Chain A
Amino acid sequence: MAKLKVALYWAASCGGCEIAQLQIGDKLLKLVEAADIVFWPVAIDVKYKDVEAMPAKSIDVCLFNGAIRNSEQEHIAKMLREKSKVVIAYGACAYEGGIPGLGNLFNRKTIFDRVYTETPSTDNSGQIFPQTAYQVPEGELTLPEFYDTVKTLRQTVDVDYIIPGCPPEEKTTWLALEALITGKLPPRGTVISHSIKGVCDECPRKRDVKKVKKFYRTFEIIPEAETCLLEQGLLCAGLSTRGGCGALCPQANMPCTGCYGPVEGVIDQGAHFLSAVASVIDSNSPEEVQKIIEDIRDPVGTFYRYSLPDSLLRRAKIK
């Protein structure tokens, strides 16, 4: 059998997905036995023009991580789609926008103002902002256009499969790679993970009655070791979040933040999480409820930690 041709790319992301890919350890050797890596900016020196010169559909699989937040990322996403038979959204940013997707609470202007003038360590009296083109004696210099709105990979090109996670767990990555190597691919559109149920399903903590009088941030309490974290007032997204990770965070006393995306069948993970939280508040008095929910700082960042661009509203309206 001819070797598979694999491309890997990063867009608006942190580099953690590359680390997750390397984390498969000696299984990498199995991967390179079965596949040639033709493009991987983090590890091999292949230029954009080299990819451009590849015939259409000549790459078998493209693992694309990162959200789409500027014109360069959009261009490369479209180019890799054209060159690849199978495109996989790898990780929370490509899947749902991820942490960079929280930029959708702002727009280009408010982000640029913050970064290039307002931050306390910035002195920009000349009001210099990034330009997409600038003339210098040597010619024209260009930068990609920064968009107002962060998009998911699926909102940009057709996507065949999704590998969830921030970053995807080693076993999740290998589940997908093994399917590719052996040619036993699931139906198109599948979110590849060991579970279609929630993180709670894999969590060993005991669940009893969810009645919460006060919500805490993680640094405010040390949770009891065996009881459900949500019952202890920590905003744990386990019940809205797809499992497959092995519920690692709750077992380390940290609430699930939702990185594997919504459970099967849910469109808007944040709304699902919010309605679950609303149902555990133990009060019938509007004033008391108001006081309880005031402890939830940054609700969008809590409920839509990774999924704002993929939510029903997609972004905030900026006045």
Chain B
Amino acid sequence: MLAQFGIEDERVRLDWVSASEGDHFAQVVSEMTEQVRKLGPFSRNGGGKDG
């Protein structure tokens, strides 16, 4: 469904991190943040001027 909305795959990630894996958690968050930053903000109007 997200593909139909034009939402890129890279914006969504499902991962599992145990409460004892602090480093891994930080790594997943950093990767995700960097990935989304590269994509830039998601425009709700799909760029349409009258959205």
A binds B: yes
The answer to whether B6 and A316 touch across the interface, beta carbons within 8 angstroms, is yes
How long is the Cα–Cα vector from A318 to B1 in the complex, in angstroms?
14
How long is the Cα–Cα vector from A105 to B4 in the complex, in angstroms?
7
How long is the Cα–Cα vector from A168 to B46 in the complex, in angstroms?
31
Chain B positions 15 through 47: 1 when the CB is less than 8 Å from some CB of chain A, otherwise 0 = 000000000000000000000000000111111
The answer to whether A300 and B5 touch across the interface, beta carbons within 8 angstroms, is yes
The answer to whether A299 and B51 touch across the interface, beta carbons within 8 angstroms, is no
The answer to whether B43 and A300 touch across the interface, beta carbons within 8 angstroms, is no
The answer to whether A315 and B51 touch across the interface, beta carbons within 8 angstroms, is yes
How long is the Cα–Cα vector from A298 to B50 in the complex, in angstroms?
25
Closest beta carbon of chain A to B48's beta carbon, Å: 3
The answer to whether A317 and B47 touch across the interface, beta carbons within 8 angstroms, is yes
The answer to whether A317 and B5 touch across the interface, beta carbons within 8 angstroms, is yes
Interface class of chain B by DSSP: loop
Closest beta carbon of chain A to B44's beta carbon, Å: 6
Number of A-B residue pairs having CB atoms within 8 Å of each other in the complex: 51
Q: Does A1 contact B (CB under 8 A)?
A: no
How long is the Cα–Cα vector from A149 to B50 in the complex, in angstroms?
6
User: Nearest B residue to A148 by beta-carbon distance?
Assistant: B48
The answer to whether A315 and B4 touch across the interface, beta carbons within 8 angstroms, is no
Q: Does A107 contact B (CB under 8 A)?
A: yes
Closest beta carbon of chain B to A168's beta carbon, Å: 27
Chain A positions 100 through 130: 1 when the CB is less than 8 Å from some CB of chain B, otherwise 0 = 0000010100000000000000000000000
Q: Give the chain A neighbours of B47 by CB distance below 8 A.
A: 317-318
The answer to whether B44 and A314 touch across the interface, beta carbons within 8 angstroms, is yes
Name A residues whose Cβ lies closer than 8 Å to a Cβ of B.
105, 107, 147-149, 151, 274, 298-300, 303, 313-319
18 further A-B pairs in the complex, CB-CB below 8 A; given A148-B51, A315-B51, A317-B7: A105-B4, A107-B46, A148-B50, A149-B48, A300-B1, A300-B4, A300-B5, A303-B1, A313-B44, A315-B44, A315-B45, A316-B5, A316-B6, A317-B5, A317-B42, A317-B43, A317-B46, A319-B6
Which 4 pairs from chain A and chain B are nearest by CB? Answer: A317-B6, A148-B48, A299-B1, A317-B46
